[in-house]
Structure 1
Amino acid sequence: MTRTRRRSARRLAASTALPAGLVLCAWLLLGAPITSADATSAIDDLLVQAGLEGVFGGGSRAAEGGASDLLVAEADPAAAATYERERFGDAWADVDRNGCDTRNDILERDLADAVHRRGSSCVVSRGVLADPYTGTEIRFERGQRSDRVQIDHIVPLAYAWRHGASEWTDDERRAFANDPANLLAVDGRANQSKRDQGPGEWMPPNEAAACDYVDRFTRVVIGYRLTVDAADARVIERVEAGCPG
């Protein structure tokens, strides 16, 4: 994994806002003042110690790793039959408590020249997407074929459900569904063609995106301790072998 890709991953996983109560908690438990620049890592450490990491959306569980770190196991067929989108909470919650829902946070992050709707500091009304999945440029305009740009769960929710998320708490699933490290603004048609498939069945049409896509997918499943199908593991290993070290 290149240093550039690692820096990008850290930027995508960074929280944009933190609850004041958790900052105070960190200050008290650490016994020293804590600045906003240090707050995210300190609070993540406290949540891990309490067994609550990821629940409040203050950080991402996505972790460094590669094909050799994957947990390979076939999907649970019983879990596949019980999947419901609602088990991951309402779509696009404001888990980081910055006043904006996750969809608009991701549009703001991924679109160039993003413009907000008049009177709103959150709702993105238009912008330009350099789509990683197709390698094309898409002009997004809310209300005017806005479905041309969709927010993709890199590790699909149904995939996660089949590979371990069915055993999580509702709060954990809600945090996963809104984790910026697992979200990407992409071409709507490419997102629809992907559905709930892993790399063994679907890869971005733009071959130049293969390394970054597999890297993101792998970091999320490792960080959330999800399993992957054997076919997915084989493709991840093959793609990784051709990526810059």
Structure 2
Amino acid sequence: MPRRRRSRRISLPVMLVVVIAVAMWVYVYGPEGDGSLAAGGAATGGPAASDPALAPDPDLAGLVVAPPSSASPYDRDLFGEAWLDVDGNGCDTRNDVLIRDLADVRFRADSADCIVRTGTLTDPYTNTVISFVRGPDTSEAVQIDHVVPLSYAWQHGASEWPDDVREAFANDPANLSAVDGPANQSKSDSGPAEWMPPAADYACTYVDRFADVLLSYGLTIAPEDYDAVLRVEAGCP
């Protein structure tokens, strides 16, 4: 007579261990776990990097990646009058930045140490030394750059801001640098994917500042610019 096979039953303690193990796996690795993976495999705050070397720095995790979204055209006037005295110190923003970034500053005699007449800039974008002399034919040698251009900001969230926030953004020293005039003109309204400072040694600082301004103001970043920032950051100390 053939031997009857006993049915294999799982004891209650073993079943509990299995259930707990599965629950722990879902908690740690599942879509509702640590938030490192969202639906579709995209990293929270930005697209997944296929190259492990391009994994986002923790400081960049808050960046929201999105294409330009404003339905209305950019207008510089929507950011207020250029170079206001927003901090009430008696000097306009342009001169405040020149005073901060230039060395050997000399002022116009009648300006109460406010209007910069001459100075020397070590330009971060080109790593060249530029002599600044105020005048109709010379002032443009040194220009004030918005690290995150106003038109870029407009396309990535600023179009929804009230006027006073746009005015503050346009005059925020954290988003401003005195730089070589031709380099500033070359940059125009580009993001990091289209333009980076010619001085390669400044690349890490530049993308850090770009990202910090976006994060401070809750602005989004274009996918191609996010990728460019990650590529630079991968080579930074």
Identify the TM-score tier after normalising by the shorter chain.
Answer: 0.7 to 0.9
> Which one has the largest radius of gyration?
2
Alignment check: 8 A CA contact 1:74 1:230 kept: yes
- Hey, what's the Cα distance between the residues in 2 that align with 1:114 and 1:85? 29
Q: The residue matched to 2:71 in structure 1 has which SS?
A: helix
Per-residue deviation, 1:119? 1.9
> Normalization by structure 1: what TM-score?
0.71
Alignment check: 8 A CA contact 1:66 1:215 kept: no
The one-letter amino acid paired with 1:177 is A
Alignment check: 8 A CA contact 2:70 2:154 kept: no
Whether 2:106 is the aligned partner of 1:115: answer: yes
- Hey, what's the Cα distance between the residues in 1 that align with 2:84 and 2:147? 18
Per-residue deviation, 1:77? 5.3
Ranges of 4+ aligned residues in structure 1 off by more than 4 Å = none
Whether 2:236 is the aligned partner of 1:236: answer: no
Per-residue deviation, 1:155? 0.2
Whether 2:150 is the aligned partner of 1:157: answer: yes
Counterparts in 2 of 1:220-231, with a 5 A limit? 220-231=213-224
> Normalization by structure 2: what TM-score?
0.74
Q: The residue matched to 1:91 in structure 2 has which SS?
A: coil
- Look up the match of 1:217: 210
Q: Which of the pair has the greater relative contact order for Cα pairs under 8 Å at 6+ separation?
A: 1
- Look up the match of 1:197: 190
Alignment check: 8 A CA contact 1:133 1:190 kept: yes
- Hey, what's the Cα distance between the residues in 2 that align with 1:193 and 1:78? 26
- Hey, what's the Cα distance between the residues in 1 that align with 2:59 and 2:230? 8
1:137 to 121, 129, 139: 129
Per-residue deviation, 1:78? 1.9
Unaligned runs of 5+ in 1: 1-64
Q: The residue matched to 2:215 in structure 1 has which SS?
A: helix
**CA distances 1:34-65 after superposition (whole Å, capped 9, x unpaired):** xxxxxxxxxxxxxxxxxxxxxxxxxxxxxxx7
Counterparts in 2 of 1:1-245, with a 5 A limit? 66-76=59-69, 78-79=71-72, 82-120=73-111, 121-143=113-135, 144-244=137-237
The one-letter amino acid paired with 2:207 is V
- Hey, what's the Cα distance between the residues in 2 that align with 1:96 and 1:68? 31
Alignment check: 8 A CA contact 2:97 2:144 kept: yes
Per-residue deviation, 1:109? 0.1
The one-letter amino acid paired with 1:241 is A
Per-residue deviation, 1:243? 1.0
Per-residue deviation, 1:172? 0.2
- Hey, what's the Cα distance between the residues in 2 that align with 1:200 and 1:207? 14
In terms of fraction of residues, the more helix-rich structure is: 1
Q: The residue matched to 1:186 in structure 2 has which SS?
A: strand
Aligned-pair identity (%): 61
Alignment size in residue pairs: 179
- Hey, what's the Cα distance between the residues in 1 that align with 2:156 and 2:218? 9
Q: The residue matched to 1:228 in structure 2 has which SS?
A: coil
- Hey, what's the Cα distance between the residues in 2 that align with 1:181 and 1:134? 20
The one-letter amino acid paired with 2:85 is D
Alignment check: 8 A CA contact 2:70 2:156 kept: no
Alignment check: 8 A CA contact 1:67 1:233 kept: no
